[in-house]
Structure 1
Amino acid sequence: MTRTTRSVFVALVVIVVVAALGFVYASPYIALDRVKRAADARDAQTVNEYVDFPALRDSLKQQVTELLTRRIDIQKSGNPLAVIGAMIGAALVGPLVDSYATPDGVAAILNGIPPRGDPGERPPVPSAASDSSVASGPVPAPEAPKPPQTTAGYRSFNTFVVTYQHGAGDARYSAIFRRSGLVSWRLVAVDLNG
């Protein structure tokens, strides 16, 4: 091997290694984009590849139960009917969690609409195209809600966190992804405390 051939070979190896490391680093951002697009498109098969639903369900159950417990603690000194309402909400944690541990729920979470812990709460359903036979004229488009401020980054080598906040005074929450393999990531938890 000549010196020039060796230099070219070393340069190619360095380029391949840097590209591979760049791909490993970017892999959670790619996974986040893919799962968000799939959830928005209601592509359940693709969402299932990027979401660990049993782990997400456990996380949501814990987070919503804590949210309701804090509400009950705050309302104990106030209105007794509010306490009863919060207790009823605590009894309905299961159905709320089940409704958010779905592709529609994942779409809501990744679009800045986390569960609030309200009794009977369900993730918003995408609006269907209006039926022209029912409408008698042009229907004004609803004003789109302002997208949340989003930050994303590694918490550790195997944990990637996306934090959402709608405004400076609004509550924050996080979607937590865990590494599953070298470049595969799955949504495993939600932290409603930010």
Structure 2
Amino acid sequence: MNQKLIIRLGGAAVAVFVLAYAASPLLAARSLVQAAKTGDERALERQVDFPAFRASLKDELSARMVAEMRKDDRLGGLSGLGMLLAPTLVSGAVDAFVTPQAIAVMVQEGQAPKPDLAKVEPDVGPKPESKKVRQSWGYRDLDTFAVTLTRDDQPDEQVSLLMKRRNLFGWKLAGIDLSAPE
């Protein structure tokens, strides 16, 4: 009888561990979104790895800027110069405007951060239907969980906030993916 009890308790402990392991990013993502919606700067500061998020945003914006320059025929020979300067321009701008307030507005608006977002106070009022932000959540891998934001009025653009595992059950916003939906 004791052996069966030990096996059942062991099975229950494993089940609780797996459930907590799988649910931890959901709880962290909900907490991040709630803090952004209410404009709770302290909660956002605890839930965001700002150096990692800034580095990820710099990479995404630089890649987007270079792709846009390659597509623009009006630039001619200047596109090469622009591609060389793009990372420097993006780096300074991102360092200046990625703040808890900018992340709050980004989550509320469902758009990539822009320099003017750092100056805007989060709007905690109801959104008009045309600007409603939809959220979808899911694992990208065992250590990356994405909260994807899509606006109803801009369905071809999305922002994926990438939560990264920091310990067994801890998660922080540490990246962003601005690629178009597939």
TM-score w.r.t. the length of structure 1 is 0.71
Partner of 1:61: 58
Equivalent residue in structure 1 for 2:162, among 141, 158, 176: 176
Task: Return the alpha-carbon distance in structure 1 between the equivalents of residues 163 and 95 of structure 2.
Answer: 19
Structure 1 pair 149/128, CA: closer, same or farther in 2 (3 Å)?
closer
**Is residue 163 of structure 1 aligned with residue 148 of structure 2?**
yes
What 5-or-longer segments of structure 1 have no aligned partner? 130-140
Once the two structures are superposed, residues 65-123 of structure 1 have per-residue CA deviations (whole angstroms, 9 ceiling, x without a partner) of 22222222222x2389xx8xx89x9575345423552112222333312136xxx5325
Q: Number of residues paired by the alignment?
A: 171
Query: What is the Cα deviation at residue 7 of structure 1?
Result: 3.5
Partner of 1:121: 116
Aligned runs of 1:39-118 on 2, under 5 Å? Answer: 39-75=36-72, 77-78=73-74, 90=86, 92-94=89-91, 96-98=93-95, 100-111=97-108, 112-115=110-113
Partner of 1:38: 35
Structure 1 pair 128/156, CA: closer, same or farther in 2 (3 Å)?
closer
SS in 2 for 1:193: coil
Query: What is the Cα deviation at residue 42 of structure 1?
Result: 2.6
Query: What is the Cα deviation at residue 169 of structure 1?
Result: 4.6
Query: What is the Cα deviation at residue 173 of structure 1?
Result: 2.7
Structure 1 pair 174/49, CA: closer, same or farther in 2 (3 Å)?
same
Q: Is the contact made by 2:134 and 2:149 (CA closer than 8 Å) also made in structure 1?
A: yes
Extract structure 1 runs of 4+ deviating beyond 6 A: none
Partner of 1:149: 134
What 5-or-longer segments of structure 2 have no aligned partner? none
Rg larger in 1 or in 2?
1
Amino acid at match of 2:122: P
Two-structure CA RMSD over aligned residues (Å): 3.2
Structure 1 pair 42/165, CA: closer, same or farther in 2 (3 Å)?
closer
Q: Is the contact made by 1:150 and 1:165 (CA closer than 8 Å) also made in structure 2?
A: yes
Task: Return the alpha-carbon distance in structure 2 between the equivalents of residues 52 and 68 of structure 1.
Answer: 24
Structure 1 pair 127/159, CA: closer, same or farther in 2 (3 Å)?
closer
Structure 1 pair 181/115, CA: closer, same or farther in 2 (3 Å)?
same
Query: What is the Cα deviation at residue 14 of structure 1?
Result: 2.1
Taking only the aligned residue pairs, the percentage that are identical comes to: 27
Question: Structure 1 residues 46-55 or 146-155, which shifts more?
Answer: 146-155
Amino acid at match of 1:114: A
TM-score w.r.t. the length of structure 2 is 0.75
Q: Is the contact made by 2:49 and 2:173 (CA closer than 8 Å) also made in structure 1?
A: yes
